[in-house]
Amino acid sequence: MDTTEICKANMVSKSHDAEVSWDDEFQQLVQTFPKDKTWAGDNMYFYQGFWCPSLVLKSVISFQNHFQAFDSDVIVATFPKCGTTWLKALTFSTLYRNKFKKDEHPLFSFGPHELVRVFEYDLYLNNPFPDLENACLYQPRLFSTHVPYASLPTSIRDSNCKLICICRNPMDMFISLWHFTDKLREEKMDSVSLDEAFDKFCNGVCGFGPFFDHVLGYWKASQENPNKILFLKYEALKEDINSHLKKLAMFLGVPFTEEEEKEGVVEEIAKICSFNNLKELEVNKKGLHISGIPHTDFFRKAKVGDWSNYLTPAMVERMEKLVQEKLDNSGFTFKFS
Ligand code: A3P
């Protein structure tokens, strides 16, 4: 499959609603799940301990039931708005750096979400048996997901495939998601205010949330199995991208050679994947993401600490208490500015 076909295959109408195609048995099963709304007003269901947007519930189940991981697979696993787009670009560029010429980098022609396809919003949407062999431009296969660690298909957890995760402080993540869903909300009637969204977020009600369960699930798994799961923090990457790229390459089993380092390959990848570069590429200024969302919406400010422009002191206090409570004795910390 060439890149044009991949791009075409990625385009799915935003108006698509998986519920329309649910069969009776599935409908009955779904009735048993607690139900709520995403901040954009779409249904989501509490399934296996996380809030699954209704659009992808069926595809998550197909993914769980049918995906067979290879030991060589690499999977980018993230909570939404924690730096998925960036991590996809970095992983693709690092893993496949010897597969294309410098001036023909696929990121010049395709968005990170087209190059690293997501299981639940793309590959398994409406198709329990997608053609995974032709879903990636290069080998080894590289995919992505927002599904929490505990709900991953057993073959991912049981195989030697590698997972790369990124998390971000919950205040910036919340504000990023707020802006993102605000764009979606324009067309919807039953939306929620910033206050309501914050309240829901603090109560764990948010697509693929609770946020803290998602983050700690992957983090704990990475502590137990560091050769299988690389856990990264958005703020740390912002501070020192080069050393994290070296860590990523080492983890992927493709460390940068001395010669590559001398030639500035690390800096080059960091530059190509940088926010300013990706945001300004024509390919990211036009076109739609698989979910129907314009590519431009995935590039906003990319700042650490932008939350301080939006959250009230009372909200900050509530979040600080929550962070303390959720991370108590975990050894895990967030950087907020
Ligand atoms: P902001 O909304 O705070 O600007 P995701 O990719 O998981 O959807 O996360 C989106 C967030 O990552 C947005 O944050 C976006 O601006 C930021 N982002 C996108 N590309 C980036 C890049 N190359 N480097 C750093 N941040 C990036």
Is 195's pLDDT higher than 80? yes
Residue 10 — pLDDT band, cuts 50, 70, 90? very low
Is 188's pLDDT higher than 70? no
What pLDDT does residue 78 have? 98
Instruction: Give the C-alpha separation, 73 to 141, whole Å.
Output: 5
What is the position in ligand 1's atom list of the atom closest to the CA of 302? 4
Our mutation pick for probing the ligand 1 site, out of 244, 300, 337, counting the most ligand atoms within 8 A of Cβ, is 300
Weakest mean pLDDT among 10-14, 152-156, 234-238 = 10-14
What pLDDT does residue 7 have? 36
**Percentage of the chain lying above the pLDDT 90 cut:** 79
CB 245 within 8 A of CB 264: no
CB 319 within 8 A of CB 311: yes
Our mutation pick for probing the ligand 1 site, out of 78, 84, 85, counting the most ligand atoms within 8 A of Cβ, is 85
What pLDDT does residue 191 have? 61
Considering the chain, what is the average pLDDT of its residues? 91
Weakest mean pLDDT among 27-31, 245-249, 250-254 = 27-31
Instruction: Give the C-alpha separation, 171 to 235, whole Å.
Output: 12
Is 58's pLDDT higher than 70? yes
What pLDDT does residue 311 have? 97
CB 49 within 8 A of CB 34: no
What is the position in ligand 1's atom list of the atom closest to the CA of 179? 2
SS3 content of the chain, % helix, strand, coil (to 5): 50, 10, 40
CB 173 within 8 A of CB 211: yes
**Fold that domain 55-170+213-299 belongs to in CATH:** Rossmann fold (3.40.50)
Higher-pLDDT residue of 187, 233: 233
Over residues 261-273, the mean pLDDT reads 98
What pLDDT does residue 9 have? 36
Tokens 């609770």 sit on residue: 210
Tokens 């779904």 sit on residue: 30
Over residues 25-54, the mean pLDDT reads 91
pLDDT digit string (tens) for 97-141? 999 998 999 999 999 999 999 999 999 998 999 999 899 999 999
Distance 216 CA to ligand 1 centre (A): 21
Over residues 7-22, the mean pLDDT reads 42
What pLDDT does residue 12 have? 36
Residue 281 — pLDDT band, cuts 50, 70, 90? very high
What pLDDT does residue 3 have? 40
Tokens 């499959």 sit on residue: 1
Our mutation pick for probing the ligand 1 site, out of 116, 179, 298, counting the most ligand atoms within 8 A of Cβ, is 298
Distance 300 CA to ligand 1 centre (A): 7
**If you take atom 23 of ligand 1, which residue's CA is the nearest one?**
275
Task: Given the residues 113, 146, 214, 289, select the one marked as catalytic.
Answer: 146
What pLDDT does residue 22 have? 59
pLDDT digit string (tens) for 303-334? 999 999 999 999 999 999 999 999 998 889 99
Rounded to two decimals, what is the model's pTM? 0.93
For the chain, what are the domain ranges? 55-170+213-299
What pLDDT does residue 181 have? 87
Distance 122 CA to ligand 1 centre (A): 20
Distance 80 CA to ligand 1 centre (A): 10
Concatenated DSSP letters of 283-308: HHHSSB-TTS-BGGGG-S---TTGGG
Give ligand 1 pocket residues (Cβ under 6 A): 78, 80-86, 172, 176, 179, 273-275, 278, 298-302, 306
Instruction: Give the C-alpha separation, 93 to 83, whole Å.
Output: 15
What is the position in ligand 1's atom list of the atom closest to the CA of 173? 3
Distance 58 CA to ligand 1 centre (A): 27
Over residues 14-24, the mean pLDDT reads 53
Clarify whether 146 is annotated catalytic: yes
Distance 334 CA to ligand 1 centre (A): 17
